[in-house]
Amino acid sequence: MKMSTRARYGVRLMFELGLRYGGKPMFLKDIARNEELSEKYLSQLVMPLKASGLVNSVRGAQGGYLLARPPEQITVKDIVEILEGDLAPSDCSKDNSLCARSSYCITRGVWEKLEKSISKTLKSITLNDLVSKFKKEKINRGGK
């Protein structure tokens, strides 16, 4: 049950954009430096986020990325679903046609419950929660 790096890095990327919200677009380079991640890899993650309408971009020099909505309107679930696919722990539970046993399989209910619980938890955390927590803790990570 590991969350992929795609999803985890994606949340960190979005957190950085949340921190910057209201200001100028942010360079991928700066996000990569702050989060100690590969800029090239991040560039792959930010594309689906843009395609899904969570992020806007500005091309060319002095361009960058910025949130398309206020951070309180973006949940971790939004991000994870885009980068991870869906949240179902088993394909059986999302579509009856995917598993011949689904009509009489008892364990299926387990994965459905689990999915709901995961979904609820991730939905309950917004980017703004992360940003506020960060500011509250006055975390100093150097840099400008």
Partner DNA sequence: AGTATTACTATCATTATAGTAGTAATAATA
Partner DNA sequence: TATTATTACTACTATAATGATAGTAATACT
Residues that bind a second copy (CB under 8 A): 1-3, 8, 11-12, 15, 36, 76, 80, 84, 87-91, 101, 104-107, 109-111, 113-114, 117-118, 120-122, 125, 130, 133-134, 137, 139, 141
Q: Report whether 54 contacts 67 (CB < 8 A).
A: yes
Closer Cβ to ligand FES, 23 or 142, answer by number: 142
Q: How far is CA 96 from CA 49, 90, 93, 103, in A?
A: 29, 12, 7, 7
Number of residues in the chain: 144
Pairing of β 55-58 and β 64-67: antiparallel
Distance CA 129, CA 19 (A): 11
The yes or no reply on residue 111 touching DNA (CB under 7 A) is no
Pick from 21, 63, 68, 108 the residue near DNA by CB under 7 A.
63
Q: Which residues bind DNA (CB under 7 A)?
A: 2, 4-6, 9, 26-29, 38, 40-41, 43-44, 46-47, 50, 57-65
